[in-house]
Amino acid sequence: MRVLRGMQQAREFVAGRGNLLSQEIPMPLAQEVARRSQEIFGQPYTIHEVVSRILQEVRRGGDAVLKELTLRIDGIALTELEVPPSAMEDALEGLPRELRSALEMAAERVTQFAVASAPRSWHDAETGLGEMVVPLERVGVYSPGGTAAYPSTVIMTVCVARAAGVKEVILCTPARDGLNASPVALAAAHIAGADQVFRIGGAQAIAAMAYGTESVPRVDKICGPGNLFVSLAKQQLFGQVGIDGVFGPTETVVVADGAANAALCAADLLGQAEHDILATPVLITTSEVLLKRVEQELASQLEGLSRRDIAAAALNGQGALVLMDTLEEAIEVGNLIAPEHLCLNVNDPWRWVSLVRNAGGLFLGASSAEVMGDYVAGPSHTLPTHGTARFASYLGVDQFIKRIPVVALSPEAARQLASAAATIAYAEGFTGHARAAELRARA
């Protein structure tokens, strides 16, 4: 894991991260994509070309193509795309009691947070102005299911959509064992209140929700994280369907002072590193002693992880231990990275909050471990990644609503405003606009 010292090296590290989707695809992945696309499509495509081909095929072929792609890509022969409601009920009944209780608690906390943060319609009778807050009609949620199942993603998307008042929520998640999706994901869908679940994964699932097929309803917006294929599909479909964002591999920045617990810092970094070989775990500290202790803890704790090889690849590939002179500088580096998760593991973290400008989610103090945000804290864990926290926000209720401005002027208010409106219209060369305003002035 690289060690960086000072602002110059930190800036070079940030600059080297590149753009979320335009960054160079690692050669082993590019070679594997070309090999697999030759097998599946008869041509050695790039990853962007593979996604475009999948989108085109699904748009033209609907359900039949979805089944064919699932067979050719995943080796699973589906007879039906939709998971029957009884399978979700059975999955819930089959959960261990402790896991069911944990998912139900997470769903309750996520819902409570979403309801508390929801905007409200308003109207000012004096000015005649206001806003209508209108939920989307139908939303599609994607939950990954490749190397791991993510019931937490189901909870933290479907529950937020429901809290926003979305009328219909459908879920796509990859098939497993030739039958249904992960049982725990199906149980989570039942707890969260998904209307329909489809056992489809990857770019083809995004295409199905965007275009609609014989079985999969066309949605107004697609939400949820996924792999690079999913992110590219969302990017290519933006404009035809709403998307919550284009998400890259997970990332956590831990800002720590000399009093921080090295074991906790290392555990938080490894908790993100084990997600993906492209994950980014970063420690920024003012203490060289802590930096060395964290480095030792990482090596020690890594040995006990079931996903050790993945975590090790992330640490060595994108990870960094950064030494800065002051906490102000350390937080500024955090702002430059604009990470998905920013953890202030420092004494009196509230003292430093005002310096934070860019973060998908902010975690204050050693007790507020990022893992709590992943599962049970309350805010959705779907957060902007790879520097997009500079301009993007987490998956909250705002993602599932439309805000419609309302203008309800009284005749008197219209008369008072008409002259200014006409003047501006004439300046822009729109006499029709000006006359429409002047008529109100005389009404």
Fold of the domain built from segment(s) 2-20+249-377: Rossmann fold (3.40.50)
Query: How confident is the model at residue 16, as a pLDDT?
Result: 87
Q: What's the 3-state SS for 69-108?
A: HHHHHHCCCCCCCECCHHHHHHHHHCCCHHHHHHHHHHHH
pLDDT at 27: 76
The conformation of residue 351, written as its DSSP 8-state character, comes to G
pLDDT of residue 249: 83
Return d(Cα 382, Cα 156) in angstroms, integer. Answer: 7
Q: Which regions of the chain carry the CATH code 3.40.50.1980?
A: 2-20+249-377, 85-121+135-243
pLDDT for the residue 163: 97
Confidence (pLDDT) at 30? 83
Mean pLDDT, the chain cut into blocks of 10 residues (443 residues total): 95 82 67 89 91 96 95 88 93 95 97 96 95 97 79 95 97 78 92 96 96 97 90 93 87 96 97 91 97 97 94 95 97 96 97 97 96 95 91 94 96 95 97 96 83
Q: Give CA–CA dist 328/277, Å, rounded.
A: 30
The DSSP string of 357-404 is ---SEEEESTTS-HHHHHHTSSS-S----TTGGGT---S-GGGGEEEE
pLDDT at residue 384 in the model: 92
* CA–CA distance, 39 with 290 (Å, rounded to integer): 50
For the 85-121+135-243 domain, the top CATH level (class) is alpha beta
- Angle value at C-alpha 178, between 176 and 181, nearest 5 degrees: 35
**Pair 267, 356: CB distance under 8 Å:** no
Let me know: does 330 contact 343? Beta carbons within 8 Å.
no
Residue whose structure tokens are 């008042």: 165
* Rg (alpha carbons) of the chain, rounded to whole number: 25
Distance CA 15, CA 29 (A): 23
List, edge to edge, every strand of the sheet that includes 401-407. Answer: 122-124, 129-135, 401-407
Q: Hey, CA dihedral for 175, 24, 395, 338, is it positive or negative?
A: positive
Residues that are catalytic: 340-341
- Could you tell me the pTM of the whole model? 0.90
The Cα-based distances of 418 to 44, 54, 251 in angstroms read: 63, 53, 53
Give the pLDDT of residue 220.
Answer: 97
Q: What is the pLDDT of residue 169?
A: 98
CA 107 centroid distance within chain: 17
Q: How far apart are CA 84 and CA 276, in angstroms?
A: 31
